[in-house]
């Protein structure tokens, strides 16, 4: 009997060595990115690299096209363990970590150069805060600036007053800013925007060109206003409880590979947005400019709303002020570096 037990133990050990880990750590990840898109290609490539690097101990499975439901449904599934994470836009995580909205507040940034200057100094602070809130992230991929897109030309805030404007689910800052301007925000998840445009529930969407192209929303609008309304951003957020169950080497491998993937997506998205705008114009959308006097009004109302909501909901209450200080610093240096015109 003793020899039989020894033989069984030996076979078990051999099987463990030859067969690899008895059970891989599987991370089921939701995303709205459509199958076949560059986002999905990059994420699946990262999953292959992680599986190979960890010798099969860590497996990422992605569920694209929004099949797992709205951000709220996805967060609930993460909480109960049906999913281990998702590729979120920042508004999708606001309920769990309000500060993630810092970059997406309306009319904060005016150019990509300003975004780059602030992100270089603030990204790590947001990633640390997100981890304190229970999610491990591996970096941010900018989605470009969101613009007004509509079926009628919008050149002033007065023209917005009779229009129904889409606000993403969870974006309380944009909702409050629009209400402060006496406008009519309509809250819908991403998956319902096309239906909203088709049925007349929405008159205006606020999205970067690449989003309108990728999700086919451009087929239901005719005009685009190039004013940068808000900077959009995405991140892959993994439940920290699941991530902490990995060994140190596997954690390091996931951080390295996913971090590099999001660095690439951040770069890719910039050129994609330029190309997407060209594609929208080639498909018949027309650019319509705002009247110059409207921009100060929009910025003033947005800043007042941003400051109020930040004071009420932020974890890191000094973050918004720090971002404003960095922007003032950048704008002062940028203004000083510009050549003075002859006779000026």
CATH assignment of the domain containing 231: 3.40.190.170
For residue 181, the model assigns a pLDDT of 83
User: Structural domain of residue 63, as residue ranges?
Assistant: 20-329
Beta strands in 74-211 (DSSP E): 85-89, 135-150, 164-168, 184-188, 204-207
- Judging by DSSP bridges, how do beta strands 25-31 and 58-63 pair with one another? parallel
For residue 7, the model assigns a pLDDT of 43
Q: Is 343 domain-assigned?
A: no
For residue 336, the model assigns a pLDDT of 81
Tens of pLDDT, residue by residue over 67-103, are: 999 899 999 999 999 999 999 988 889 989 999 999 9
Q: Is 5 domain-assigned?
A: no
Tens of pLDDT, residue by residue over 143-190, are: 899 999 999 998 888 888 889 999 988 888 888 888 888 888 999 988
pLDDT band at 340 (very low <50, low <70, confident <90, very high): low
For residue 22, the model assigns a pLDDT of 52
Closest residue by Cα to residue 181 from 166, 161, 167, 163: 161
Q: Please count the structural domains in the chain.
A: 1
Q: Is 203 domain-assigned?
A: yes
- In the block, which residue shows the tokens 């990995």? 246
């Amino acid at each position: 009997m003793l020899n039989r037990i020894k033989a069984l133990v030996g076979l078990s050990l051999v099987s463990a060595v030859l067969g690899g880990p008895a059970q891989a750590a599987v991370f089921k990840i939701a995303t709205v990115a459509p199958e076949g898109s560059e986002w999905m290609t990059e994420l699946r490539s990262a999953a292959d690299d992680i599986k190979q690097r960890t010798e099969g101990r860590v497996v990422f499975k992605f569920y694209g096209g929004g099949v797992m439901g709205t951000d709220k449904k996805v967060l609930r599934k993460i909480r109960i363990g049906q999913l281990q994470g998702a590729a979120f836009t920042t508004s999708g995580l606001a309920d769990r970590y309000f500060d993630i909205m810092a970059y997406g507040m309306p009319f904060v940034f005016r150019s990509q150069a300003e975004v780059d200057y602030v992100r270089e100094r603030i990204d790590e602070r947001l990633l640390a805060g997100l981890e304190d809130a229970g999610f491990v992230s591996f970096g941010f991929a900018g989605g470009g600036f969101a613009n007004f897109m509509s079926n009628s030309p919008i050149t002033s805030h007065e023209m917005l007053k009779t229009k129904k404007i889409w606000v993403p689910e969870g974006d309380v800052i944009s909702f409050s800013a629009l209400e402060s301007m006496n406008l009519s925000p309509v809250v819908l998840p991403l998956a319902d925007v096309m239906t909203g445009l088709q049925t007349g529930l929405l008159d205006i969407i606020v999205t970067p060109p690449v989003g309108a192209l990728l999700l086919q929303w451009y087929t239901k609008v005719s005009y685009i206003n190039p004013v940068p309304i808000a900077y959009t951003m995405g991140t892959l957020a993994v439940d920290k409880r699941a991530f902490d169950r990995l060994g140190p080497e596997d954690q390091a491998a996931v951080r390295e590979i996913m971090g590099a993937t999001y660095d690439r997506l951040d770069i890719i998205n910039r050129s994609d947005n330029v190309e997407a705008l060209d594609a929208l114009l080639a498909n018949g959308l027309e650019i319509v400019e705002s009247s110059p006097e409207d921009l100060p009004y929009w910025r003033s109302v947005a800043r007042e709303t941003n400051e109020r909501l930040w004071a009420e909901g932020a974890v890191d209450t000094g973050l918004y002020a720090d971002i404003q200080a960095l922007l003032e610093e950048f704008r002062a240096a940028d203004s000083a570096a510009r050549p003075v015109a002859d006779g000026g």
